[in-house]
Amino acid sequence: MTNVSVSWRKWKRKLQLIDLCSLLGMIRLLMLPLCVLVGATVGKAQDDLPADTTAGYVPVISGAFAYVQNTSGGVQSLVPQIVPVLLVPMGHSLLLESRVEFTGFFQRENQSSGPFSGPFVGKVYKTVDYAQIDWVAASQATLVAGRFILPFGLYSERLAPVWIRNLQDMPLTYSIGTAPYGAADGFMLRGVAASLPSASIQYSAFMSAHDSTNQLQANRAVGGDTSIFVPSKRVEAGLSYQRTLEGYQINNEAAYLSWQPQRASIDLKAEYDRNHYGDGYWIEAAHYPQQFPVAPDFFRHMQLVGRMEQFFVRNGGGHGDASVNEKRPEVGLNFLIRDDWRLESSYGKLFSQRGNSNTWNFGFTYRFVWPLWPGRKS
């Protein structure tokens, strides 16, 4: 019995050594071509870039600072926000990037009962929006790893930053495809599938693992997005799909359209979203009066915005969505003091089965781009 036991232990040890050796061998085998691939890609990327450009690749901190005073249903909230974005390039093909949001939310102490005259109290919330590494693997493909924003619809990836969005209120359907965390932890492949003078087709495909780490929470999910853009008409149409693979496994779908006609300085965007708990749409138009007959230099910095949106409950709603049907028309007036400073104001009325309410927003946004390292100057 003892001999058998000793013999088994020897075999076990040998098997462990074989496993370890084969694992190390496999890692070596994988590392070698990976290094060659990375080196070749970086080298090729450097060769591909124009030699006569003065562009520098230094680490950058960009982002925005915003302050919004919101009055919704008679309850006043003060919302200051700092959203820094750190960009650290490593060569011309690797980029480390991260965005963190620091959002203050302050309301009067007796905000639930009135008369809304108490001192403002609240706290600052911190959120890691994304922390990802991007590897430009080929001309038309980029591999993203880490925590990234879910590529769903027009809003979450592209229009959500405070200095980009035309109206500070998020659309009523925003949580469809983004709830509950708005980000994924895993891998994503994205790029342009076809880039022709007449049209280009963009794509994103991702898979996310479950993560319960503080600030990095994510659900297990898969999904993707594809869009076609016609540059001569400045029209883009796209579709997004996402399936959560834990808890209630549900599908989320979106269809969107964006149009900036060349003949008029109008920006039209629309999106339809749906999942198991609800569906809805928003349609938004923004206009810079370029040809205003009086004081054109003043009015061309002004932006008029209008948005109509509606949400319909399905299967009881909730889960990040509203639990009753809602509708909200909203108008806004923004003024660009400079390209980085913007004053903004908006008014919307929420029609809800729980009661209607008015929403006012006043504030400003400032965006910045600062180099963190001395570099080549022109």
Partner 1 sequence: MTDQIRKGWLLAFAASGLCLVLLVAAPGQTAPAASGPGHVQSTASPANQSEAPAANAGETIFAANCARCHTPPMTLNPRVTGTILLHMRVRARLSRKDEKLLLQYLAP
State which of positions 67-126 bind partner 1 (CB under 8 A): 87, 89, 92, 95, 97
State how far the Cα of 62 lies from the Cα of 212, in Å rounded to an integer.
Answer: 28
Residue 125 tokens read as 């919330």
Which CB sits closer to partner 1, 85 or 244? Answer: 85
Does 375 bind partner 1 (CB under 8 A)? Our answer is yes
State how far the Cα of 183 lies from the Cα of 208, in Å rounded to an integer.
Answer: 9
Does 354 bind partner 1 (CB under 8 A)? Our answer is no
Residue 48 tokens read as 């591909």
Q: Which of residues 169-208 bind partner 1 (CB under 8 A)?
A: 190-192, 195, 200, 202-204
Contact residues for 18 (Cβ-Cβ < 8 A; gap 6+) = none
Which CB sits closer to partner 1, 44 or 210? Answer: 44
Which CB sits closer to partner 1, 26 or 372? Answer: 372
State how far the Cα of 158 lies from the Cα of 189, in Å rounded to an integer.
Answer: 17
φ, ψ for residue 250 (rounded to 5)? -120, 160
State how far the Cα of 171 lies from the Cα of 286, in Å rounded to an integer.
Answer: 15
Residue pair 146/135 in contact (Cβ under 8 Å)? The answer is no
Among 20, 126, 180, 340, indicate the residue that binds partner 1 (CB under 8 A): 340
Q: 123 to each of 81, 106, 214, 216, how far by Cα in Å?
A: 12, 7, 18, 20
Which CB sits closer to partner 1, 78 or 160? Answer: 160
Does 352 bind partner 1 (CB under 8 A)? Our answer is no
Placement of tokens 């690749």 in the chain: 57
Beta carbon of residue 232, minimum distance to partner 1 (angstroms, whole number): 7
Does 369 bind partner 1 (CB under 8 A)? Our answer is yes
Beta carbon of residue 53, minimum distance to partner 1 (angstroms, whole number): 5
Which CB sits closer to partner 1, 179 or 283? Answer: 283
Q: Which of residues 219-238 bind partner 1 (CB under 8 A)?
A: 229-236
Q: How many residues bind partner 1 (CB under 8 A)?
A: 80
Residue pair 342/162 in contact (Cβ under 8 Å)? The answer is no
Residue pair 106/120 in contact (Cβ under 8 Å)? The answer is yes
Does 144 bind partner 1 (CB under 8 A)? Our answer is yes
Q: Which of residues 277-296 bind partner 1 (CB under 8 A)?
A: 279, 281, 283, 288, 290
Beta carbon of residue 284, minimum distance to partner 1 (angstroms, whole number): 12
Which CB sits closer to partner 1, 180 or 261? Answer: 261
Which CB sits closer to partner 1, 77 or 142? Answer: 142
Residue pair 303/335 in contact (Cβ under 8 Å)? The answer is yes
Q: Which of residues 252-271 bind partner 1 (CB under 8 A)?
A: 257-265, 268, 270
Query: Binding marks (x or -) toward partner 1, 19..58, rule CB under 8 A?
Result: --------------------------x--xxx-xxxxxxx
Centre a 10 Å sphere on the Cβ of residue 12 and count the other Cβ atoms it contains.
10
Stretch that binds partner 1, among 5-13, 32-40, 135-143, 170-178 (CB under 8 A): 135-143
Among 2, 117, 214, 378, indicate the residue that binds partner 1 (CB under 8 A): 378
State how far the Cα of 86 lies from the Cα of 61, in Å rounded to an integer.
Answer: 5
Quick one: which of 338, 360, 339 has its CA closest to 349? Answer: 360
Burial class for 195, CB neighbours closer than 10 Å (0-12, 13-18, 19+): middle
Amino acid at 352: S
Beta carbon of residue 122, minimum distance to partner 1 (angstroms, whole number): 29
Does 142 bind partner 1 (CB under 8 A)? Our answer is yes
> How far separated are the first and last CA of the chain, in Å rounded?
81
Does 333 bind partner 1 (CB under 8 A)? Our answer is no
